[in-house]
Amino acid sequence: MVACMARWFIILFTLISFSLDAQTLVMGKVIANSGEPVSGVNIYCMENKNGTTTDSLGFFQLECTIPCTLEFSHVNYKSETYKLTKSDAPFVVTLRNKQNNLKEVVVRAVPASGRILSSIKNIERIPAILGEQDVLKYLATMPGIVTTNALNSGIYVRGGNSNENGFLINNMVIAYPDHLTGVLSTFDPYILGNSTLFKSGFPARYNSFLSSYINMRPDPGNKYKHEGEVTIGLVSSALKAKGPIVKNHTSFAVSARTSYLQHISKLYNRSMDNEQNPNYMPEYSFSDITASIDSRLSDKWKASAFGLFSIDHMKMKISEHVQYIFDWHTFSGNINASYTPNSKEQWDFQFGGKNTYSEGDAFGSIPMGGGNRHYALLGQISYNRKLSDKININTGSKFEYSRFETANKSNERENLLIKSSDRDFNLYEIYMDINYRLNHNFTLNIGGNYQYYHGDTRAHTFSPRAKICYTNNKTTLWADYAKTVQYLSLYPYFTVKTPIDIWYPLAKNTKPAICHQYSIGVNQEIGQTLSFYAGLFYKDMRNVKDFASDIQTEYSALTDNLIQGKGHAKGMEFDLTLNHHALYARANYTLSESKRKFAEINNGRSFFPPYDVKHNVVLNLSYEISPRFLLNTLWTFSSGVYTTFPKGMVVAQNITEIQTGENPVLIPVYTDRYNYKLPDNHRLDASLDYKFSGKKTFYKLSIGAYNVYNQSNPSFVYFQAETTRNLTKIIPKSKVMLPFIPYLSLRINW
């Protein structure tokens, strides 16, 4: 243990990253005194001489140097000026009608009501490992949201699977760039630092995923001046820039990142070659490019474009003779045009595409190999209109064409993939939301979503939505219901989720998965420094998908093995947050149960799926010791999840090889699924920031550690047959991908 930690100190303590950035991304929402969102509000930062406008839902984001003065103006409202001294959280600005007699602009915090808004300030309160910060890392610390292991960068929301979450850019679905290891950010916050996660009370425009929707709004860039950021380190490097293409008219933001963690892993693995039971690190690398363009074509027309490309490679060595190799890449892109003829209505036109490809190989154990590809074309039109001070409608239509291809490796000695199956489908969708403000305290949202699925099977679904919210001073109460459907299933290639798992559409004579979710919640502000949240939820799931147990080594005949069942998830969530001067502290706890039932699995008995986390605890502390020193800590605990333990092994080999005893291949024999519970996971991360300045530059030196007390949390579980004296036993093994990792980083701002 000591030798291992010493190696980590030698290799990783010198990790220094230089981050050169300039401003803070301010996020907020503008509403009228009636509570309705106001679109088309012009927001101008006087110090930086840049600006933006609110979207159809009243949201805006703008890069400013804090403190700053923001000016809000709209043709139907009085112009307001607000002095912003900090960016702790997204805030709401209430504008006055030109006819009313409110005395001043009202600014208040955004209450929690089934959705979570990310902010740069809150993200920075989470220890940044190796200089990497990420929206998903922050969201995973919220109540009702958990992660399971470092090999899986996905999140699990309210007892649902990670493949039941929809990731969107400007309300359009994208391919999920599945970066691994838990220390490398999935989405670059330089461009995608502003997001909203819906875990209940979904707007009617969101469907096709059961559990949650994460909508991210790209940074529009800077229309007035150029700026940049460079990150250099031993783990990853990046080159980033923002600026005007046509000043005051069109701007861009771009980020290109690459990692070389595999070189550190190779050095570490060489030091393990002489160990009796080596614990090899995965040799993992990734590269991605994220870009956005934003243009004000006229006073009524706006256009934007977004693109994200990622490529990943991982070689995971289990032993000297057993290893896995994974390759995967994704691409997503969309273009958007918005037309605002007046202050009461807005049209949005969008077109996009996405593509994912993955390939996996296993050597030295059970022969496995194959690849799969999924690509889609998408289009949508939406219309938002304010009918009165109390009623607002949002309606639209969507279209999607998706195609899925799978292939098997014909010979383990040849790198040749042969297509085994392909499927496609068309999806047509219309929706409508009505927001009605009953009075000063009550707001009612009702809506519906209709979809027609045309593939190997055909399905018509209607998904109603309803939500009522009561607000009185510092108290917010709400109750909501939402039906969601999902047409895609994810076939797990191993006993844990990996990026090469196979997406597949509905098979013939199968029905889409359906979830009915009911939830209630309360958010209470206590004084000026304390807030409390509590929530209850119940999810009834039907036609959920899994795969029969007789396919373990090929990407073929998936539809013949697709099975349907039912399940439920229920739980309660609590969150307590203290924000008092230099101290920020947050504690939350989630108690949940998730169960599934299939006639073909475990003889029809209910079971806990491998993402059932009964207890999840998060403790986050951020303390400003002085204006120069900031301490951040994060402790997490989650119950162990279930995996499948084989009951025996059989020998598969050529009859001539049996006589010689050469090349025996042991194949596991499974009976019950999810019959082995892994140990509980817990971890402490910590960082200490030191801020100082030069004549024209500002510096932040950070020192910290991931997994401070070196807890051995298993990331990848496998089972190995060990033979002694003609007796073969099955021994569970695990890979700990992320032990104790110290780091040092330096950020330079100008």
Residues 373 and 275 in one domain: yes
- Please give the mean pLDDT across all residues of the chain: 79
Give, as one character, the DSSP assignment of residue 271: H
Residues 325 and 240 in one domain: yes
Residues 343 and 328 in one domain: yes
Name the packing angle between helices 2-12 and 261-272 (round to 10°): 150
Average pLDDT, integer, range 473-486: 92
Residue range 438-468, pLDDT digits in tens: 888 899 999 999 999 999 999 999 999 999 9
Residues 53 and 177 in one domain: no
Residues 606 and 669 in one domain: no
Question: What proportions of the chain, in percent to the nearest 5, are helix, strand and coil?
Answer: 5, 55, 35
Among residues 610, 643, 676, which one ends one of the domains?
643
Q: Are 179 and 132 a contacting pair, CB within 8 Å?
A: no
Give, as one character, the DSSP assignment of residue 97: B
Given pLDDT bands bounded at 50, 70 and 90, which one contains residue 32? confident
Residues 627 and 656 in one domain: no
Least confident of 62-76, 335-349, 456-470: 62-76
Sole residue written with tokens 């699924």: 673
Q: Which residues contact 316 (CB under 8 A, 6 or more apart)?
A: 280, 282, 283, 323, 324, 325, 326, 716, 735
Range of the domain at 660: 648-749
**pLDDT score at 619:** 95
More confident residue, 650 or 106: 650
Residue range 514-530, pLDDT digits in tens: 999 999 999 988 887 89
In a domain, 458, yes or no: yes
What pTM was computed for the model?
0.80
In a domain, 180, yes or no: yes
In a domain, 708, yes or no: yes
The rounded percent of the chain whose pLDDT value lies above 90 is 30
In a domain, 12, yes or no: no
Q: Which residues contact 437 (CB under 8 A, 6 or more apart)?
A: 34, 35, 36, 389, 390, 391, 443, 444
**pLDDT score at 12:** 40
The answer on pLDDT for 658 being more than 70 is no
Tally of CB atoms within 10 A around 592: 22
Given pLDDT bands bounded at 50, 70 and 90, which one contains residue 11? very low
Given pLDDT bands bounded at 50, 70 and 90, which one contains residue 132? low
The CATH number assigned to the domain holding 103 equals 2.60.40.1120
Total count of domains within the chain: 3
Average pLDDT, integer, range 709-735: 70
**pLDDT score at 454:** 96
Residues 138 and 163 in one domain: yes
Residue range 643-654, pLDDT digits in tens: 777 776 666 655
The CATH number assigned to the domain holding 190 equals 2.40.170.20
Q: What are residue 308's phi and psi, to 5 degrees?
A: -145, 125
Q: Which of 30, 28, 43 is nearest to 95 (CA)?
A: 30
The answer on pLDDT for 56 being more than 80 is no
More confident residue, 592 or 741: 592
Tally of CB atoms within 10 A around 254: 19
In a domain, 225, yes or no: yes
The answer on pLDDT for 211 being more than 90 is yes
Overall residue count recorded for the chain in this entry: 750
The answer on pLDDT for 336 being more than 90 is yes
Q: Are 59 and 79 a contacting pair, CB within 8 Å?
A: no
Instruction: Give the DSSP H or E segment for 722.
Output: strand 716-724
**pLDDT score at 35:** 57
- Sign for the CA dihedral angle at 737, 739, 745, 747 comes to positive
In a domain, 471, yes or no: yes
Residues 577 and 696 in one domain: no
Quickly list H helices, 98-182: 120-123, 135-139
Among residues 64, 89, 109, which one ends one of the domains?
109
Q: Are 677 and 640 a contacting pair, CB within 8 Å?
A: yes
The answer on pLDDT for 716 being more than 80 is no
Residues 639 and 718 in one domain: no
Tally of CB atoms within 10 A around 205: 22
Among residues 82, 109, 136, which one ends one of the domains?
109
In a domain, 386, yes or no: yes
Least confident of 63-77, 159-173, 338-352, 679-693: 63-77
Residues 573 and 671 in one domain: no
**pLDDT score at 22:** 42
Least confident of 65-69, 385-389, 430-434: 65-69
Q: Which of 270, 262, 167 is nearest to 212 (CA)?
A: 167
In a domain, 569, yes or no: yes
The answer on pLDDT for 236 being more than 60 is yes
Residues 354 and 404 in one domain: yes
**pLDDT score at 34:** 54
Average pLDDT, integer, range 572-581: 90
Residues 105 and 140 in one domain: no
Give the Cα separation of 691 and 714 in Å (integer). 36
Average pLDDT, integer, range 553-571: 72
Give the Cα separation of 403 and 80 in Å (integer). 50
Beta bridge partners of 241: 228, 254
